[in-house]
Every structure is written in C-alpha cells, then in structure tokens.
Amino acid sequence: MRTLFSMLALTVAAPAVAQTAAPMNPGQAIEAVAASKTGEVEGVFEFVVASAGAGGFSVYLNSAANYRDPGNLTIELHSAAIAALKQKLGGYPEDLLAGKRVRVKGIARRVPVGSHFQTRIAVDSIAQIEILG
C-alpha cells in the first residue's frame, strides 16, 4: 500500500513530461503545453525549420513560415548555443538551418510575443539540439 501511495505522490508531484518516446511535432507540442497545468512541457521536439531570424541576442528557428502562426513552434537559441552552432556550421545558424530538420530537447513554454502568444523552447547549450538533415 505504501508503494502505491509513493507512486501516486511522484505522479502528482512530477512536472508535465512527454509520455511518448517519439519526438513531438509542433502541433503535439502546442497542444501538450495548452493542456498542461504549469504551462510548460519537457520533452523532445522535432520539425523542419520553415523560417529563421535573429533579434536582440537570440536566434529563432520556426516551424512555420510566419512566426505569428498559432501552429508555430519556435526554438530560441541563446548566446552560447549560437556561438557553438556558428563554429560547428561555419556560419550563422539563422542562415544555415532554414530547411533543415532539427530535434531539440528542452521545455516548451507558452510566452507572450507582442499581441499574440508563441510556444517556445529555449536552447542554452548545443547539446540540446541535433541537426538531422
């Protein structure tokens, strides 16, 4: 009986984590974040980069051509990941990753962007992102 209660407590206390072994596509990620009580989901996400851009100190890799699209999932690369990718790729990630399939590990969150919301995954380390081709 104690084991049952322990397992139940761990289930209730655990953050929202993807329950599937396969990477989530943008639609699955956005749906999972929307359904999460915490507004975030930890997991592995995969998509083809449809558009990319840079702003401030970040690079944004989008699953949709228009980053304002409600079905868009964005990878937000931070300084250390940008520098490491630039060295690995021999150029700027926003220029070289458009059209490439990427897989990223992290936490997807719904964040306000101007007048709309966007689901983003922050990437601080190159270890979080894999370029599949």
3-state helix/strand/coil string of 16-72 = CECCCCCCECHHHHHHHHHHCCCCEEEEEEEEECCEEEEECCEEEEECCCCCCCCCC
Which tens digit of pLDDT belongs to each residue from 78-118?
999 999 999 999 999 999 999 999 999 999 999 988 888 89
Q: Which is higher by pLDDT, 28 or 116?
A: 28
- Rounded to two decimals, what is the model's pTM? 0.82
Q: Which is higher by pLDDT, 67 or 2?
A: 67
CATH number of 16-131: 2.40.50.140
Q: How would residue 40 be classed by pLDDT, with cut points 50, 70 and 90?
A: very high
Residue 61 has pLDDT above 50, yes or no: yes
pLDDT at res. 19: 47
pLDDT at res. 15: 44
Mean local confidence (pLDDT), 65-77 = 96
What is the domain partition of the chain in residue ranges?
16-131
Instruction: State both tokens at 113.
Output: 């962007």
